[in-house]
Structures are given as C-alpha cells and as structure tokens.
Amino acid sequence: MKGLKIAVLAAALAATPIVHALDVEPYIRKDKFEQILISPKGEFFAATVPLEKQTILAIIRRSDNKVLSRFGMGENTVIGNFRWVNPARVLFTVGEKFGALDSPSGTGEIYGIDAKEGAIGELLVGQRVTTNTGTGGGSHIQAKKVEQVWADIIDDLPGDDRSVVLEVGTFGAEFPRVEKMDVYSGRRIRLASAPIRSATFSTDNAGVVRFAHGADYDRAGKLYYRDGEGSEWRLVNDESVTGLDRVPAGFSSDNRTAYLVAEADKGPDHLVTWDPATDKVADVLVDPVVDPEAMITELGSEVPVGAFFNNETLSTRFFDTNSRRAKVQARLEEAFPGQHVYVTSETADGGTALVRVGSSRNPGDYYLFDTKLGKANYLLSNGEWFDPERMNPTQAFEFAARDGLKIHGYMTRPRGSEGKRLPMVLLPHGGPFGVRDDEGFDAEVQMLASAGYAVMRVNYRGSSGYGRSFSEAGRKQWGLAMQDDLTDATRWAISSGQADAGRICIYGGSYGAYAALMGVAKEPTLYRCAVGYSGVYDLPTMYTDGDTHTSAYGKNFLADWVGSREEIAAVSPTRMAARSKVPVFLAAGGKDERAPIGHSKLMEKALISAGTPVETLYIPTEGHGFYTIEHRREFYTKLLAFLARNIGGETATPPVPAASASTSH
C-alpha cells in the first residue's frame, strides 16, 4: 500500500508552491500532514493537515484512501490532542495559535466526529455558541452542552466504546474535577474532585483515577494518590519537603505497582516503580545524561515496558525485554538501521502498528507493520520532496562550560564538507525553559547548512531533558550564565577547528532572538552579525506588555525564573546597544502578543542611536513568528542575503514574491 492521499485534500484546500533547486521553497513548504493515527480496528486513519493559517482534522478510509470528513475552525486555529475513542469515532481538542513560533493555547473545548462520509463535528464540551462553517471544509458544529468550562481527555477507556474520562475545570476556578462522558450525547457524571490546585489526573489500566499532581501558590509539586474509586486522597510526595518532584507514568498490568518519573538531586530524572502498599521505590531505568523522554507501552495496552531517551540520538531501552513491543521494536530497528523508529499508534489487538521512521536527514516515513508476519508496507512521508541522501549530517557534541558544567548540543555541517573552519550560524533555541534541541530533522537547520553554513545548536543550562539541577542552573540567568554557555560553545567550535572565527553569526527566535542580540552586546568581537526574530529585548517591559504578565502563573514565572525588573534591566539588549558593533537584522510581527513588536522597534531605535547597522522586516498581520508561505519566503530570502553579506554562503533564488504588506529597510 503506498501513497495515502492526504495530498488530494491538501491540494484542494491550499495551493502547493513549486519546488526549485537551490531555493528556499522546499524548506518552507507545508507538510501534507502533521500527525496520523490508525483506528482500533484498522479501518480508518485520522490525520491533522496543516493549511496556510490553520490545521484541520481529516478522517480517511483505509481501503480506498478516501477522505470521508474533515473539520477546521478557521484562521489561527489548530487541532490539539485527538484520539480514537472507539472503532469509528474521534474526539479532539482545539487550540489557537498566533504565529509560527507560538505555542497553541487550548480553548478547552472537546469535539467529536464520526468516521463516515459527510460527518460533521459536534461540540461536546465547551463554551462556543455560534455555528462555524470554518475554512477547513465547511464542518458545522452542533453544541451538546454550552458551559463556561474547559476539558481534556484523560482516558479513552478502550473497553468502553461509549465513554471517556475527562478532566474538567470551570474558568476562573482553581480546582478541576474528573468526569465520565458519553462520547455521543456529551452527558457527564462526576468521578472525583481535585485535592490540589491546578491538578492533572492519571488513571490505571482499568480507567480508575489514581493520581492527582498539582501545586499550591508555592508552586511546589504535590503528588496525591488514592487506592481506588471512593477512596480518600493521600499526599505521597511534597516537593516543598523533599526538594524533588515526582510525576505518574503508568501502572503495571495488575494495577498494583505504579511507575513514576522521579527527579534526582543531581543528574537526570529516574524512571522508578512505587509500591503504594509498602511505599517502596526502586529504580527501573536511568540514563547517565538525559531524562526519560517518553514511556513505551505494550502493544494493545497502556502498560509501560520501556522508555525513549534522547541523548546523542533517540534511543529505546526496555525493562520488559520479553514484551511484544520490545520484540517488535528490535525487528524494526534492525530493518531501519541508524534511524529513529517508533510506533505512533496501533490497532486494539496490537496486530497492526503505524510506525514512523526518521532521522536528522529524514523528515519521516510512515509504514504499516504487521506485528505477526513482521512485514512493513510503506504508507506515506513527511517532506517527501527531500532526498535524505542529499541532506546535511548532524553530529552530537559536548564540552565543559567555564564553570565545568557539561553542555550538550548538535552541529550540522554542509554535506560533503570537511567540517573545518566553516562559516557558522549559532542557533539558540527559544523557550528558554522546558525546551531543548534534539537530533531530529529540522528544515530551517537543513536550509542553513545547504547554504554552506555549519549550524550549531546548544542546550544551554536551563534547557529541559538533563535533570532538575541542570534546569535550575538557568534560574535568573538570562544574559548571565545561560549566555556564557553560548559564548563558550562558540569558542569551543573555533578552538576545535570547526568554525572560522571571522565568519560567525548568531540567530534565534523568541528567547533565541534575545540571546542573539545579547550575544553581540556582551561579546562585541566574537560574532560578525546577529539576527533577532520575534524577540524580547527590553526585559522590564515583560512586566507590563505582552501576555506573560497577565496571569498569576506568568507573574510568578517572571519573578522566579527571569528576575525582578531591576535585575533584568541590567541584561536588556536595548540598554546595551552601544556595545553592539556588528550588523543586525530584526524581524517581527505586528500582532505578536508573546513578544510585542514594540521590543523590536525599541531595539532598532537603540541600535540606530548607537550607530550600528540595522535592517528590519516588520509584517503587521503576523504574530509570534511568520505563518504564511509568502511571508516566510520573504523572511528567509532576506535572512540568507543578510548572512551572505556578512559571513559568506549562498543567497536565496526564489520566485519573485508577490507584493506584501511588510515594511523593511
């Protein structure tokens, strides 16, 4: 079976750009789909399909690849979590996203749609009251129950085709609850109440709520447990007492033993077992460098049998080596050596698995794997226009920062180069907390490497994935030790002979944009240019502008992790512009609520006053990162031209873009 025809749907809804050799087009094209799941009996697929400014859900019949139904909510909306709740029905959540760098914000609504031709999406839980035809295919919404609540799916109850378990909260209230909902009528009954503010709940393999994890105003994690339905909650871990957090990760097949991801005083998190009857804790899996990335469960169940770890590359480790999943994984990894292989979904009996195969050079191929026959049939691919053999290689590295802390990262070099004294782009990730770079395929990184640059990505202190102490090391270190890690990484790349000291540029988006402008201010002779994309540069204004300060959580985040107004004023690039001596390129969207465009304009004004060359690209209709193909083309064309002028490399040769509403100079 080959070529699932999601392309037919995408082509009908959005024009596909023509790919030209040595052009930016391949790197800005929308994929045919983002995620895809197989139904419990293997008769259908559910897939999210990205369009120009939204993501829609499509239901496809496997026998003939026909798109039976589709659902979209319109501009700046995305499909959130979605799952098959029985062999012929999907439930899903919706989010809003304003820009390519923005994180989706859930609306709290839950919708359902059937796997039948012409099916319409139905609002089961939420507050939306208008009928919406959407631009994603004309799906009407039928409201079942309009309320001022938000909800998320906790458990799809595989043995019950009519019910799911939800976490439900009332807007403005701090204590959510657990309810069981009929997936067709939307009727709900309460099962449990939260013992802690902002709780998230976990169920066992029978669908019984057993854990609640949340935090009070001290923001310290608290884990509550109960023995079963009707049992009282009891506190089993309080981060404010133990100094370490623990979160649930599943149950053994008999539901007597729980799996937890437990923080350690030093080093990465551990996967442990916990016996509720004896309070005994035992290590199951631990890596010397990285946290468990995600749990691996047995085929056809939610029982943990192993975990993914993401160090130099994504790897699997099993504590139940006799499980069906471990044996299937071994066969798949043998069949696809050197690539990341994981099961995205499977049929209820575990007989057919939908498998994704990818790498730093391969955006992702999907196969249907018969677990009994051991046979894999190609289905479709992400970024099928990319030839993995022509992509650029990525290699993990580590070095010691000036204080001795081990820092990890990834270097991508132009294919065919010797990797010596190359022009280099340092690409710090956004976030900065709760985020990390990994080895996986990244179209932007590949574009820069294809233009002739080494591309260095650094998991500076504060990045996630390396344990509590590594994350904590980034607390209130904007512009300080976090920035020093980037400086030390650059000097390491020079001293190891990989980067040409006279041809290095620092470029980033969101927090990465802050780091770029801070980099050239703090180290005015180390870089030859800087690029800031949708960045924050005048840090004290984060307390008054944008959306971070508008919630209690956001205010606490600023105070606890970024710093006081006085502290962060001293590490604001706008107030250090006189130290910046190299050319700067700033890009921003006029509708950016996370990093308002005012930051970029203040930065531009400060640079001009300091006599520093500055170029800008401001697009009034874009948000936190540019969404449209037209504006992404314009941005990357200007970016490559800017880099070429300052550190060498290729410029873009795209088709002549249509006139836009952008302002640039």
Q: What residue segments make up the domains of the chain, in order of their start? A: 290-382, 392-538+576-664
Q: What is the dihedral of CA 128, 133, 139, 141, to 10 degrees?
A: 20
pLDDT-derived band at 141, boundaries 50, 70, 90: very low
Q: Show Cβ contacts of residue 304 under 8 Å, excluding neighbours closer than 6 positions.
A: 249, 250, 259, 295, 296, 297, 298
Q: Which two tokens stand for residue 597?
A: 């465009």
> Quick one: 392-538+576-664 is in which CATH superfamily?
Alpha/Beta hydrolase fold, catalytic domain (3.40.50.1820)
Closest by CA position to 126, among listed 214, 188, 219, 191: 188
- pLDDT single digits (tens) 151-170: 999 999 988 999 999 999 99
* Rounded mean pLDDT, 622-640: 92
Report angle CA 379, 383, 386 to the nearest 5 degrees. Answer: 110
Would you state the pLDDT for residue 173?
86
- Would you say the C-alpha torsion 27, 29, 33, 35 has a positive or negative sign? positive
Would you state the pLDDT for residue 202?
98
Give the pairing of strands 422-426 and 499-509. Answer: parallel
Decide if pLDDT at 98 tops 50. Answer: yes
* Rounded mean pLDDT, 49-55: 86
Decide if pLDDT at 91 tops 80. Answer: yes
Decide if pLDDT at 513 tops 80. Answer: yes
Would you state the pLDDT for residue 100?
64
pLDDT-derived band at 662, boundaries 50, 70, 90: low
Q: How far is CA 92 from CA 47, 299, 348, in A?
A: 11, 23, 19
Structural contact between residues 411 and 394, judged by C-beta atoms closer than 8 angstroms: yes
Decide if pLDDT at 10 tops 50. Answer: no
* Rounded mean pLDDT, 231-259: 97
- On average, the pLDDT of the chain sits at 89
pLDDT-derived band at 74, boundaries 50, 70, 90: confident
Q: Show Cβ contacts of residue 566 under 8 Å, excluding neighbours closer than 6 positions.
A: none
pLDDT-derived band at 276, boundaries 50, 70, 90: very high
Measure the CA–CA gap between 184 and 124, rounded to whole angstroms: 8
Report how far apart the first and last C-alpha atoms of the chain are (Å, whole number). 51
Would you state the pLDDT for residue 552?
66
Would you state the pLDDT for residue 110?
94
Decide if pLDDT at 92 tops 60. Answer: yes
Would you state the pLDDT for residue 14?
39
pLDDT-derived band at 437, boundaries 50, 70, 90: very high
Measure the CA–CA gap between 226 and 201, rounded to whole angstroms: 11
- pLDDT single digits (tens) 318-336: 999 999 999 999 999 999 9
Q: Report the predicted TM-score, pTM, of the whole model to 2 decimal places.
A: 0.89
* Rounded mean pLDDT, 450-456: 96
Please name the helix (run of DSSP H) or strand (run of DSSP E) that holds residue 86, with its range, or none. Answer: strand 77-86
- pLDDT single digits (tens) 361-401: 999 999 999 999 999 999 999 999 999 999 999 999 999 99
Measure the CA–CA gap between 10 and 230, rounded to whole angstroms: 49
